[in-house]
Amino acid sequence: MRRFVTSTVRRYSTRNFTWWDHVRPAPKDPIMGVTEAFNADSSPNKINLGVGAYRDDEGRPVVLQCVREAGARIVGSQFLESNSAAVSSKMVEECVKLVYGKDSDVVNEGRFAGVQALSGTGACRLFAEFQRRFHPESRIYLPDPTWSNHHNIWRDAQVPSKKYHYYNFDSKSLNFSMLIDDVKNAPDGSFFLFHPCAHNPTGMDPTEEQWKEISYQCKVKNHFPFFDMAYQGFASGDPEKDARAIRIFLEDEHLTGCAQSFAKNMGLYGHRVGCLSILCTDSKQGAAVRGQLQQIARAMYGSPPVHGVLLVSAILSNPDMKSLWIEEVKMMVNRIQKMRMTLQESLENLDSPLNWEHITNQVGLFFFSCLTPKEVEQLAREFHIFMTHDGRISMGGVTTGNVNYLANAIHDVTRSGKEETKILCNVGV
Ligand code: LMR
């Protein structure tokens, strides 16, 4: 008997040995991989400019005062046993007011489906899944360039994606004419993803007039505009102003979708708190869409955690706490703006032969530099400065203490006037 068991086990374990042999290591994530490289570097001078997270002027992660106060208020609430339905519907209500306006008809008449989501990523993923289920033949148009994870999200949901023109790498500005052409030339009824403010990674947003034109052309073509609102407040310092692009689409009576995240503007990255909303023709349709979204979420992760949701609800539903939050957003944006100006001035004072005006022309958390992949690698190797391969610099990681070191390092890797950089930086402009 014993001999039988042993040989059976041996036979099975030989078979088990082959289960995962074909699994190859996944490529490193272009953003999270930067943090890994940063963590592995032992230099005291190292700087992490990779992930888009705000840091204070000492380089520390920030817990906003409004979040501390909200935390004190929710201590002892019954949320640990909650299945989150009641708490999340309160947060969803606050989220839609923040995006579409507290007095907007869609909110007052309940013409939307809103669900709590696992931050902006989770909201996009839910939407992508919903899009595939209910428009299986559709694809998503993504800006070129866009947040790298957009490609993964729609790919994993098996929705094909196509790029639309967004950025002109030569002039370092919005490629508006080609963007509009792409909107006009896409098949009627296409899905377009837009960043309504603080575009990631370019820091270049359309003007109000340009948004009006985009909205108009989307209307003519009957496209579905989907907004990924990951940085509300980070473009202008005012969350209300940063919602202007979406409000323009609302004025044009579009039905839109929106992914919201509080990872950056409330410093809640680790809580994964966000919202997905989809505008509908009436509240009955809203209820149907919401039910479908909830069903998709139920099979993927059950219900999302509620702690962060309680924090966000406490802040947005109390006028004093909301004002405090808005002040704190302004404070973060002012610090970033100051660092942009100092970085540009430092490079100019070093007599850089290149044009650095784009540092202060761009908005939001990111400076889309014109550094080449080779220069990005050199910065990591020789100066312990880490950023994504496309030369995106998270200004959240730039501080009074490291901005001159950064400027000197950038100057060092670019001053030999390498041809590629010269072309990208419009030398002499
Ligand atoms: C980023 O672009 O760095 C952020 O959106 C963080 C993330 O999750 O990628």
263-315 pLDDT per residue, tens: 999 999 999 999 999 999 999 999 999 999 999 999 998 888 888 999 999 99
Is the CB of 119 inside a 6 Å radius of any atom of ligand 1? Answer: no
Q: Global pTM?
A: 0.92
State percent of the chain over pLDDT 90. Answer: 84
Could you tell which of 31, 262, 368, 395 is best to mutate to test the pocket of ligand 1, judged by most ligand atoms within 8 Å of the CB?
A: 31
Domain count, the chain: 2
Q: Are strands 47-48 and 385-386 parallel, antiparallel or unpaired?
A: parallel
380 and 249 in one domain?
Answer: no
Radius of gyration for the alpha carbons in the chain, expressed in angstroms and rounded: 24
Is the CB of 31 inside a 6 Å radius of any atom of ligand 1? Answer: yes
- Among 274, 293, 324, the domain boundary falls at 324
E strand or H helix at 363, and its extent?
Answer: none
Distance CA 288, CA 341 (A): 49
Q: Do the Cβ atoms of 8 and 16 come closer than 8 Å?
A: no
12-55 per-position pLDDT tens digit: 555 667 888 899 999 999 999 999 999 999 999 999 999 898 99
Which one of 154, 182, 211, 228 is the catalytic residue? 228
Is the CB of 147 inside a 6 Å radius of any atom of ligand 1? Answer: yes
In a domain, 46, yes or no: yes
What is the CATH classification number for the domain harbouring 279? Answer: 3.40.640.10
Is 374 tagged catalytic?
no
Peptide bond between residue 201 and the one before it cis (omega within 30 degrees of 0)? yes
* Low-confidence residues of the chain: pLDDT under 70: 1-16, 78-86, 417-429
Half-sphere exposure of 263 (CA within 13 A, CB side): 23
What is the CATH classification number for the domain harbouring 410? Answer: 3.90.1150.10
Is 264 tagged catalytic?
yes
Is the CB of 34 inside a 6 Å radius of any atom of ligand 1? Answer: no
Residue bearing the CA closest to ligand 1, atom 2: 52
* Structural domain boundaries, residue 397: 28-62+333-427
- Backbone torsions φ then ψ of 362, nearest 5 degrees: -90, 160
